[in-house]
């Protein structure tokens, strides 16, 4: 069990969390859910499609500590982004959490094969979303050590 | 666009009308009909004019073609009969600035105006001058031929002379679309294909459909590298295009025969594909448009000739049969013992029915003439047919006796076809005609195997040799089928027999009184049937196709609708939940409204999810396999563990054994049925659900029995409908989709689902499943 103040402490070592989602409602809900978990807005950044995401990653020294990636986005889909990241030496270590409405087994399987670290179906209750974000923070920014060859 | 990979197993499904590429000896351009800008083209055209394909898209026709062709195009592009101008001539400036002249053939489809450009290469025939003469000469010699066979031979000779193919064959289909070469003209030195047989699969169903739609097709070079269409963003229907590329399977088939170029012309009689004129060349071979037109006219003329002569031949055969029939009855009337007349005329009796053998029992003994099985075997065929097939009927006939009863395959040589006509209702008197197996009746010119001398590299590919084997497989243990005219002739013969000959015998009279009525009725009915069945069959095919299409349409709609509905609904729930979480701003009444709103949203979400999975049953199902049913059931019960515990239910099973089907879907059926059994429990007793199974001949029947509230059996069909509920939502939760899903899954397995129930006494749901793929 990670206490709230421990979590906040951990966040100091976190660069920022990058959320890619073309749906602005979902962006707002995710922002609120993180805030309810004590993550300040400054630690969050948003892009709304895959092309924007890759551009952002290529144009900055400061890489995100975690990426939350929607599956269906215009211009470049989540799967394409994932494949591209896992092929790039400087990006392949960043944990990527897929976040999609699709609960199709094929999608889920493909994402894991492409190198996703976790797959979450977008919940239909806000409090579920808050819980999901909390578990992301505690696991992927806390205890987990990413091993990618 | 998804690419279809053709293999031997799926070649009957290959979408050959949208190959996405054309043969390399010409060029294809597709213009927008309204703007005359270039939308699609074969990539070799870009190479011809020396431009990048991407630079060519949306070029205007004026830029591509010089005057006067561009004007001709502009003034006719909207006309639906632009094909009347074919062939047109146009010149194109190529990349090295020379002008090349092309013959242009225009056609239209839903994508736009298609132009096919072919270079006017020398063909050896002075096209324009000889055309009139050739057509007149060829057609009159075909029409003037004495017999149909002579017309066939004349047609292939004339077409070979016209088109200069090495070999031209007339290929005729039988009633099951196996083919036979009935006429052939060839370059000297080639071995003959005359009278060779090919199985139905050599020209699969969708190829035959294409031949019906588009009566001519040409493959100029089997090894030519096809030129793909650009851009490849949609499937363009090329069925009207002579340049369209040919299925790789078909190319392989031709290569195996050493053929380099082919052309085929359909022979269509009474709306059906009667056969093909198939032309082969052993080098690449281009046939210009004008020549193709004439060849096509000749094919059309041959179709008319065949249709005319076939119907007159049929009428003649019928008249001939009636003559034979009366000569038999006359002879019988003359003899003191009528059976002597029958013996005397046994050959006519066989010929009348085009049979190869006949047997009868009109007194005590069985007598046989021609080629028949042994007497004891005829007895056993008669007894079996009388018991299993004849029933209340006055006649029985089939052309594949061995398929009805495996034991009769032993007599396939002489008795693949049987027509049994009882003469009296209860005295076991009958006449039985036999027809030989088709293979036995074929003239092979002595050595069928040896006359087919082609390479066989031992790999599993279509080969003329294996084609022959396949054909043999298709017609094994089958005779030529009995035509409706022949059956009707047999019934008429029987009436005459009874009226004029057997009338002498009082005993027969009595025996026949009942049967005679039946026979008269049957004869009339049969004749009506002959006329009405064809219409009915056509209507049925159309109706089935429509039903299938609308069903698929509905499923697609349900999938898309429910998929797209999920997204906005999720938002409603999310933001609603946020307001509820911060409930301090709401008074009690509003909070209650809110809760009701959210409950409705949740219910709607369940409905959408249910609808989505309902629509996925056919679309996303897995293939059928054999699996351990008890294992699957145990897993399902584990999923229900919580429900079972909470309701204090008792679930027991006597075992399912091996089950054949889609494991996951069948688990879903079990889950829904068991869950229902628990859910609709009677308040005064703890729910109890028992699952049992029973194996019948070809099916497994699973029963799920509960001790719940049951329902009025009047509703036992209705409850399987979509959104059907017998109880209020408040009393029992649920979407009204569970049983509809069960029904759909079971039907996908070719099984049935039904229920036995009584109010207050619990219900038992049953479903049946085939035990193996063979049982479907």
User: Residue by residue, what is the 3-state secondary structure of B61-100?
Assistant: HHHHECCCHHHHHHHHCCCCCHHHHCCEEEEEECCCCCEE
3-state secondary structure of B40: strand
B158 and B292 in a single domain? The answer is yes
Q: Which two tokens stand for residue B718?
A: 């209705």
3-state secondary structure of B397: strand
DSSP B721: S
The fourth-level CATH superfamily of domain A4-140 is Response regulator (3.40.50.2300)
Q: What is the CATH number of the domain that holds B483?
A: 3.30.450.270
Task: Kindly tell me if the per-residue pLDDT of B774 is higher than 70.
Answer: yes
Between these two residues, B273 and B526, which has the higher pLDDT value? B273
Per residue in B76-121, pLDDT (tens digit) is: 877 777 877 888 888 888 888 888 888 888 888 888 899 999 886 6
Task: Kindly tell me if the per-residue pLDDT of A2 is higher than 50.
Answer: no
How would you class B477 by CB atoms within 10 Å of its CB: exposed for 0-12, middle for 13-18, buried for 19 or more?
Answer: buried
B214 and B302 in a single domain? The answer is yes
Q: What is the mean pLDDT of residues B48-70?
A: 86
> Which of B391, B405, B400, B422 lies closest to B482, judged by CA?
B400
Query: Contacts of residue B566 in chain A, CB cutoff 8 Å?
Result: 101
End-to-end CA distance of chain B: 34
Asked if residue B358 lies in contact with residue B433, where contact means CB atoms within 8 angstroms, the answer is: yes
Which of B124-133, B249-258, B689-698 shows the lowest per-residue confidence on average (mean pLDDT)? Answer: B124-133
Instruction: Give the pLDDT of residue A93.
Output: 84
DSSP B391: T
> Chains A, B: CB contacts under 8 A, how many?
29
Q: What is the mean pLDDT of residues B492-511?
A: 64
Task: Kindly tell me if the per-residue pLDDT of B686 is higher than 70.
Answer: yes
> Which of A101, A37, A39 lies closest to A64, judged by CA?
A39
Q: What is the mean pLDDT of residues B47-74?
A: 86
User: From the CA of A93, how many Å to the nearest CA of chain B?
Assistant: 32
Q: B170 in a domain, yes or no?
A: yes
Task: Kindly tell me if the per-residue pLDDT of B10 is higher than 60.
Answer: no
Instruction: Give the pLDDT of residue B65.
Output: 85
Task: Kindly tell me if the per-residue pLDDT of B209 is higher than 80.
Answer: yes
How many Å apart are CA B691 and CA B632, to the nearest integer? Answer: 13
Q: What is the mean pLDDT of residues A76-82?
A: 88
Which of B50-59, B230-239, B654-663 shows the lowest per-residue confidence on average (mean pLDDT)? Answer: B230-239
Query: Contacts of residue B581 in chain A, CB cutoff 8 Å?
Result: 126-127
B57-88 core/surface letters (b: 16 or more CB in 10 A; e: else): eebebeebbeeebbebbeeebeeeebeeeebb
Per residue in B370-379, pLDDT (tens digit) is: 999 988 899 8
B274 and B350 in a single domain? The answer is no
Q: Which two tokens stand for residue B6?
A: 């053709």
A67 touches chain B (CB under 8 A): no
Q: Which two tokens stand for residue A73?
A: 């986005």
- Mean pLDDT score of chain B: 79
Residues 6+ apart with CB under 8 A from B258: B282, B454, B455
Q: What is the CATH number of the domain that holds B741?
A: 3.30.565.10
Instruction: Give the pLDDT of residue B391.
Output: 66
Phi then psi dihedrals of residue B355, to 5 deg: -100, 160
DSSP string, B504-561: G-HHHHHHHHHHHHHHHHHHHHHHHHHHHHHHHHHHHHHHHHHHHHHHHHHHHHHHHH
Phi then psi dihedrals of residue B480, to 5 deg: -65, 140
Region of B679 (left: φ > 0; alpha: ψ -120 to 50; beta: rest) is alpha
Q: Cβ contact (<8 Å) for B574 and A127?
A: no
Q: What is the mean pLDDT of residues B517-544?
A: 71
Helix boundaries (H) for B198-277:
205-213, 248-256
Place of tokens 């409603």: B572
A25 touches chain B (CB under 8 A): yes
Q: pLDDT grade, residue B42 (50/70/90)?
A: very high
The segment with the largest mean pLDDT, out of A1-5, B125-129, B355-359, B469-473, is: B355-359
Q: Torsion over CA of B536, B539, B545 and B551, rounded to 10 degrees?
A: -100
Nearest by CB to residue B577, choosing from A25, A122, A126, is A126
Estimate to the nearest angstrom the gap between the alpha carbon of A135 and the chain centroid: 12
How many Å apart are CA B459 and CA B452, to the nearest integer? Answer: 17
Place of tokens 């429509």: B546
Q: What is the CATH number of the domain that holds B225?
A: 3.30.450.40
> Which of B633, B622, B626 lies closest to B658, judged by CA?
B626
Task: Kindly tell me if the per-residue pLDDT of B1 is higher than 60.
Answer: no
* Residue B46 CA neighbour count, 13 Å, CB half: 20
For Cα atoms B118, B291, B281, give the angle at the middle one, nearest 5 degrees: 85
Q: pLDDT grade, residue B2 (50/70/90)?
A: very low
Task: Kindly tell me if the per-residue pLDDT of B337 is higher than 80.
Answer: no
How many Å apart are CA B84 and CA B603, to the nearest integer? Answer: 62
B742 and B643 in a single domain? The answer is yes
Nearest by CB to residue B571, choosing from A25, A32, A127, is A25
Q: pLDDT grade, residue B278 (50/70/90)?
A: very high
What number is the ipTM of this complex?
0.74
Nearest by CB to residue A101, choosing from B567, B573, B581, is B567
Instruction: Give the pLDDT of residue B433.
Output: 93
Task: Kindly tell me if the per-residue pLDDT of B12 is higher than 70.
Answer: no
Which of A21-30, B17-26, B695-704 shows the lowest per-residue confidence on average (mean pLDDT)? Answer: B17-26
Share of chain B above pLDDT 90, in %: 12
B602 and B629 in a single domain? The answer is no
B568 and B599 in a single domain? The answer is yes
How many Å apart are CA B740 and CA B718, to the nearest integer? Answer: 10
Q: pLDDT grade, residue B8 (50/70/90)?
A: very low
How many Å apart are CA B414 and CA B399, to the nearest integer? Answer: 12
Q: B161 in a domain, yes or no?
A: yes
Which residues partner with B272 through β-bridges? Answer: B269
Instruction: Give the pLDDT of residue B185.
Output: 93
B282 and B135 in a single domain? The answer is yes
Angstrom CA distances, B546 to A45, B452, B623, B743, stand at 53, 44, 25, 22
Instruction: Give the pLDDT of residue B299.
Output: 85
> Which of B393, B440, B110, B456 lies closest to B255, judged by CA?
B456
Q: Cβ contact (<8 Å) for B573 and A25?
A: no
Q: Which two tokens stand for residue B364?
A: 């005590």
- Note every long-range contact of B732-740, with CB atoms under 8 Å and residues 24 or more positions apart, other chains counting: B732/B679, B732/B680, B733/B679, B734/B679, B735/B603, B735/B606, B735/B607, B735/B610, B737/B607, B737/B610, B737/B611, B737/B614, B738/B610, B738/B672, B738/B675, B738/B676, B739/B672, B739/B676, B740/B614
Q: B99 in a domain, yes or no?
A: yes
B589 and B513 in a single domain? The answer is no
Between these two residues, B77 and A49, which has the higher pLDDT value? A49
Q: Which two tokens stand for residue A93?
A: 């270590």
Task: Kindly tell me if the per-residue pLDDT of B339 is higher than 90.
Answer: no
Q: pLDDT grade, residue B14 (50/70/90)?
A: low
Per residue in B149-166, pLDDT (tens digit) is: 888 888 898 889 888 999
Q: What is the mean pLDDT of residues B114-135?
A: 64
Interface test with A, best of B577, B606, B664 (most A CBs within 10 A): B577
A129 touches chain B (CB under 8 A): yes
Angstrom CA distances, A87 to A17, A149, B604, stand at 21, 11, 42
**Domain with B264 in it:** 127-312
Instruction: Give the pLDDT of residue B452.
Output: 36
Interface test with B, best of A32, A37, A126 (most B CBs within 10 A): A126
Q: Cβ contact (<8 Å) for A124 and B581?
A: no
B283 and B301 in a single domain? The answer is yes
Per residue in B353-365, pLDDT (tens digit) is: 889 999 988 777 8
Residues 6+ apart with CB under 8 A from B611: B558, B561, B562, B737
Instruction: Give the pLDDT of residue B190.
Output: 84
Nearest by CB to residue B577, choosing from A25, A122, A125, is A125
Instruction: Give the pLDDT of residue B432.
Output: 92
Per residue in B603-640, pLDDT (tens digit) is: 888 878 877 777 777 767 778 888 998 989 999 998 88
Which residues partner with B691 through β-bridges? Answer: B653, B704
Q: B16 in a domain, yes or no?
A: no
Per residue in A9-22, pLDDT (tens digit) is: 555 567 788 999 98
**Total domains, chain B:** 5
Using CA coordinates, name the residue in chain A closest to B613: A104
Instruction: Give the pLDDT of residue B499.
Output: 67
B653 and B736 in a single domain? The answer is yes
How many Å apart are CA B578 and CA B625, to the nearest integer? Answer: 47
Residues 6+ apart with CB under 8 A from B336: none
B667-704 core/surface letters (b: 16 or more CB in 10 A; e: else): bbbbbbbbbbbbbbbeeeeebbbbbbbeeeeebbebbb
Per residue in B430-483, pLDDT (tens digit) is: 889 999 887 754 443 323 343 333 333 333 333 444 556 666 666 778 888 888
**What stretch of H or E contains B277?**
strand B272-281
E-state strands within B309-395: 357-361, 367-370
Q: Cβ contact (<8 Å) for B577 and A127?
A: yes
3-state secondary structure of B477: coil
Q: How many residues does chain A have?
A: 149
Q: Which two tokens stand for residue A98?
A: 């897929």
Q: pLDDT grade, residue A146 (50/70/90)?
A: very low
Residues 6+ apart with CB under 8 A from A75: A49, A50, A51, A52
> β-strand B227-230 against B38-42: which pairing, if any?
antiparallel
Which residues partner with B754 through β-bridges? Answer: B766
Nearest by CB to residue B570, choosing from A32, A101, A127, is A101
How many Å apart are CA B399 and CA B401, to the nearest integer? Answer: 6
Per residue in B536-579, pLDDT (tens digit) is: 677 767 766 766 666 666 666 666 666 677 788 888 888 888 88
Per residue in B384-437, pLDDT (tens digit) is: 888 877 766 678 888 888 888 888 888 888 888 999 888 776 667 888 999 988
B194 and B291 in a single domain? The answer is yes
B282 and B202 in a single domain? The answer is yes
The segment with the largest mean pLDDT, out of B460-464, B503-507, B537-541, B762-766, is: B762-766
Q: Which two tokens stand for residue A115?
A: 């190198």
Instruction: Give the pLDDT of residue A149.
Output: 35
């Amino acid at each position: 069990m990670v206490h709230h103040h421990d979590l906040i402490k951990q966040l100091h070592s976190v660069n920022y969390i990058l959320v890619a989602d073309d749906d602005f409602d979902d962006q707002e809900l995710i922002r609120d859910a993180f805030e309810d978990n004590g993550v300040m807005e400054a630690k969050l950044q948003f892009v709304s499609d895959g092309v924007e995401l890759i551009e952002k990653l290529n144009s900055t020294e400061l890489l995100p500590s975690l990426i939350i990636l929607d599956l269906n986005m215009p211009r470049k889909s989540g799967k394409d982004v994932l494949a591209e990241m896992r092929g790039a030496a400087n990006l392949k270590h960043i944990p990527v959490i897929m976040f999609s409405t699709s609960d199709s087994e094929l999608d889920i399987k493909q994402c894991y094969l492409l190198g996703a670290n976790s797959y979450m179906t977008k919940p239909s209750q806000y409090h579920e979303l808050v819980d999901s974000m909390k578990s992301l923070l505690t696991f992927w920014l806390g205890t987990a050590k990413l091993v990618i060859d | 666009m998804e690419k279809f990979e053709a293999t031997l197993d799926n070649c009957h499904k290959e979408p050959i009308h949208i190959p996405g590429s054309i043969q390399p000896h010409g060029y294809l351009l597709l213009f927008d009909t309204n703007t005359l800008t270039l939308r699609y083209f074969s990539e070799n055209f870009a190479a011809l004019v020396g431009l990048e394909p991407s630079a060519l898209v949306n070029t205007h026709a004026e830029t591509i073609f010089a005057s006067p062709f561009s004007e001709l195009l502009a003034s006719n592009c909207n006309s639906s009969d632009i094909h009347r101008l074919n062939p047109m001539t146009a010149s194109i400036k190529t990349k090295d600035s020379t002008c090349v002249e092309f013959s242009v053939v225009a056609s239209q489809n839903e994508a736009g105006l298609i132009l096919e450009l072919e270079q006017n290469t020398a063909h050896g025939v002075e096209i324009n001058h000889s055309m009139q003469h050739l057509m007149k000469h060829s057609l009159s010699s075909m029409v003037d031929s004495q017999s149909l066979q002579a017309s066939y031979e004349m047609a292939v000779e004339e077409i070979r002379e016209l088109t200069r193919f090495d070999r031209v064959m007339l290929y005729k289909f039988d009633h099951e679309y196996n083919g036979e070469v009935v006429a052939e003209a060839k370059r000297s030195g080639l071995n003959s294909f005359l009278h060779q047989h090919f199985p139905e699969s050599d020209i699969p169903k969708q190829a035959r459909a294409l031949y019906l739609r588009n009566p001519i097709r040409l493959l100029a070079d089997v090894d030519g590298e096809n030129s793909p269409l650009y851009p490849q963003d949609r499937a363009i229907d090329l069925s009207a295009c002579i340049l369209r590329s040919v299925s790789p399977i078909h190319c392989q088939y031709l290569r195996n025969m050493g053929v380099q170029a082919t052309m085929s012309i359909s022979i269509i009689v009474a709306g059906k594909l009667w056969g093909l004129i198939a032309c082969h060349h052993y080098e690449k071979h281009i046939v210009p448009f004008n020549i193709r037109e004439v060849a096509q006219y000749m094919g059309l003329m041959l179709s008319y000739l065949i249709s005319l002569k076939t119907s007159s031949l049929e009428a003649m055969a019928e008249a001939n049969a009636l003559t034979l029939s009366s000569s038999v009855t006359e002879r019988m009337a003359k003899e003191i013992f009528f059976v002597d007349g029958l013996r005397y005329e046994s050959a006519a009796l066989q010929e009348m029915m085009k049979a190869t053998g006949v047997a009868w029992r009109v007194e005590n003994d069985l007598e046989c003439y021609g080629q028949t099985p042994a007497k004891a075997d005829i007895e056993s065929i008669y007894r079996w047919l009388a018991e299993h097939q004849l029933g209340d009927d006055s006649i029985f006939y089939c052309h594949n006796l061995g398929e009805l009863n495996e034991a009769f395959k032993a007599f396939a040589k002489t008795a693949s076809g049987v027509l049994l006509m009882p003469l009296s209702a209860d005295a076991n008197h009958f006449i039985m005609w036999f027809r030989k197996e088709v293979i036995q009746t074929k003239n092979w010119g002595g050595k069928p195997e040896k006359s087919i001398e082609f390479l066989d590299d031992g790999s599993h590919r279509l080969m003329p040799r294996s084609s022959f084997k396949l054909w043999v497989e298709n017609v094994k243990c089958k005779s030529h089928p009995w035509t409706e005219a022949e059956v009707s002739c047999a019934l008429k013969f029987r009436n005459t027999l009874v009226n004029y000959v057997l009338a002498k015998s009082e005993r027969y009279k009595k025996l026949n009184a009942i049967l005679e009525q039946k026979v008269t009725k049957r004869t009339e009915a049969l004749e009506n049937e002959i006329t009405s069945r064809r219409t009915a069959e056509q209507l049925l095919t159309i109706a089935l196709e429509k039903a299938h299409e609308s069903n698929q349409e509905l499923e697609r709609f349900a999938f898309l609708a429910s998929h797209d509905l999920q997204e906005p609904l999720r938002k409603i729930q999310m933001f609603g939940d946020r307001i509820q979480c911060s409930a301090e701003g709401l008074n009690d009444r509003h909070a209650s409204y809110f809760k009701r709103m959210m409950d409705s949203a949740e219910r709607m979400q369940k409905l959408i999810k249910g609808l989505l999975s309902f629509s996925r049953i056919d679309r996303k199902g897995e293939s059928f396999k054999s699996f351990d049913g008890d294992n699957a059931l145990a897993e399902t019960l584990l999923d229900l563990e919580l429900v079972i515990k909470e309701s204090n239910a008792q679930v027991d099973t006597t075992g399912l054994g091996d089950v054949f089907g889609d494991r996951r879907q069948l688990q879903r059926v079990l889950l829904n049925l068991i869950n229902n059994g628990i859910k609709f429990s009677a308040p005064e007793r703890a729910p109890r659900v028992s699952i049992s199974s029973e194996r019948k001949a070809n099916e497994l029947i699973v029963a799920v029995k509960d001790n719940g509230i049951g329902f009025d059996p009047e509703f036992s069909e209705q409850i399987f409908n979509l959104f059907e509920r017998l109880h209020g939502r408040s009393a029992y939760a649920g979407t009204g989709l569970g049983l509809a899903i069960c029904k759909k899954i079971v039907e996908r397995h070719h099984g049935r689902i039904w229920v036995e129930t009584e109010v207050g006494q619990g219900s038992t749901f049953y479903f049946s499943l085939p035990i193996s793929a063979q049982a479907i």
